[in-house]
Each structure stands twice: as structure tokens, then as C-alpha cells.
A and B are shown apart, each in its own frame.
Chain A
Amino acid sequence: MAHKIDISMPQDLLLQSGYSLRVTAVDVTNGALVSGVKVGTVVITADGGSVSGQGNLEYGQWFLVPGPGA
């Protein structure tokens, strides 16, 4: 069973096209990628008023969870 952890991130993040959020696993001593770690479900919570762009369809395998009435 995985243990839970809360981590701080910058506040008031407003991202625009071309920028990426990356979920990864790094080495504690040198920051390099640690091989063999698998990332499962990733959920980004965003301000609904800010989601704009190409018809709310996201990049690659990412998708916007449909809201009520979808």
C-alpha cells in the first residue's frame, strides 16, 4: 500500500501554451531521473474559468473530465 505525501508547489500558477508540467522521479543526490519508477494516474486540478484552448481536448492521453450534463 502506497503511503501519502503532500508537497508544496508555487502558488498562483498560470501556464500558457508551450509550457509543460512534468511528473517524474529524481535522485536525491544529483536530481537525475531514477529509472524504473512507474507513474500511474495523474490528475491536474485547474480553475475551470481558466481552461481554454482547442475545444478543451487535451494533449495525448490526457483528457478533461466531463462535467455535469456532458
Chain B
Amino acid sequence: MADVAIVNPATATAPKDYRLQLNQLLAIKAVKASFDGTGAAASYLPCLQLLAPDGTVMWDAVPALTTAAGASVDATWFPHIGLSSIVVGGATIQSYWGNATAADFTWTGPGGTNVSSGFPVNNTFTKLIDSSGLLIIFEGDFTAGAASDNLTLGLWLNGANRINVATGTVGNAFASVQGASLRGITGDPVSFPAGAYTLDMRVSSFLGQTTTFRCSTSATLTIQELTF
């Protein structure tokens, strides 16, 4: 006979149970459920369990990869699949684009000190999976001060510098820097667990002279979360 759907459309805090009643018999082919992790206390695994009449958990079906607190997932359980993971290697899980500030950022000194530029405005990135990598690419343009100088542009994640690049300039010249880094791959001494990261692009002038970071029109920050 044709398959049938047994549905519970109500939203409720986990867990959600379906208990077979008297004389009921059911051959299960698949289960689908949506999870809203907006209010999750921690990262989590979507889980399907079979419970015996006395409440004993007979088995758990969970994926290999964790979903970050704050993230949502649509999970489908069905047999005959070999790998309970979200995507195959080399896939992009999500992409992030940094939005510009309302105005260029101009600062004066102190020399050699990294200062926050206010770019990007959307300064939170939520990593979805513990074991994924982050491909970080950015670039930015400057209007340098009157004297030859050395300018830097870098990305801080949760208050820690993760990539920083520098360029030498001549006086009153236009300068441009670009940076790229792939973090969280095997061998990276820093771990990047799933969860929220505060993004902060900081700038510095070695001499501390008045410099403009032209972030309103000439700066980009992109992040791709990738599987391996």
C-alpha cells in the first residue's frame, strides 16, 4: 500500500513524543523534523530515539556533526544511508558578507596600535559546525598620511587576532591591502568550535599619523564555512 504521513505541526520545546496506542502497529519508513535552536542553551545534536513502554531508550540516531546553539536545522531520518553527516567534503555550509560602515574611518595614532574600525556593521558570525573550516578573505583601501608609513589591516575573532596584513606607503598615497586565510583545518593550533564569533577589523599606522580607512566603499570581508 501507499505510504502515509502522520503529522504533528505544533511547535514545542524538545522532546516531542509519538506513542503508539493499543493494538497499533506501524512500519516506519522515515521521520522528518524541524529544529529551532534560537534559544538553545548549548550546541546540540538532532536526535531520534525509540523508547520502550517503560521509557528505556532503545537507540539514538544522531548525526556526526553538531549544530551550534542559535542555529536551526531540518533533519530527516531514513535507513540505508551510510554517513550521517550534513554534507560531503568540500561543500560550503554558509557564506558571510561584511557590510560597510556608514562612513569611512579616520584615526590618528597611537603609532603601531591596532584600533577598531567599526567595520563590518554586521559583526557577528555564527559558525554552525565544530569540525568545519573558515575561509576568510578581506581587502581594504586607505588614504595614507603625509609621510611614508606602514599600515595594517587585520581581523579579530572574539577579541583574538586571526589574520593581519601590512603594506608600506609613500606620503599622501593611496594604499590597498588584501588578506586570506583558511582556518580550522587539520593542524591548525587554534580551534574554532561552533558558535557565535564577534568580528572586528582593526587598523594601525606605524607612525600614528592621520589615516583614513575607506571602509564605506572600499573594504570587503567574506567568510565561507566549509566542510572537509
Listed in ascending order, the chain A residues whose CB lies under 8 Å from chain B are 1-28, 31, 33-54, 58-65, 67
Listed A/B pairs (24) with beta-carbon separation below 8 Å: A2-B36, A5-B46, A7-B63, A7-B81, A9-B79, A17-B20, A18-B19, A20-B19, A20-B51, A21-B48, A22-B15, A22-B16, A23-B48, A24-B49, A39-B15, A41-B8, A42-B34, A44-B7, A44-B30, A45-B32, A46-B28, A51-B4, A53-B23, A67-B4
Asked if A62 and B8 make an inter-chain contact with CB atoms under 8 angstroms apart, the answer reads yes
Asked if A47 and B29 make an inter-chain contact with CB atoms under 8 angstroms apart, the answer reads yes
Chain B interface mostly: strand
Is B25 in contact with chain A by the CB < 8 A criterion? yes
Q: Which of B68-76, B162-170, B172-180 forms contacts with chain A? A: B68-76
Listed in ascending order, the chain B residues whose CB lies under 8 Å from chain A are 1-53, 57, 59-63, 65-67, 71-86, 93-94, 128
Q: Give 5 nearest A-B pairs by CB, closest first.
A: A53-B24, A11-B79, A18-B53, A24-B15, A50-B27
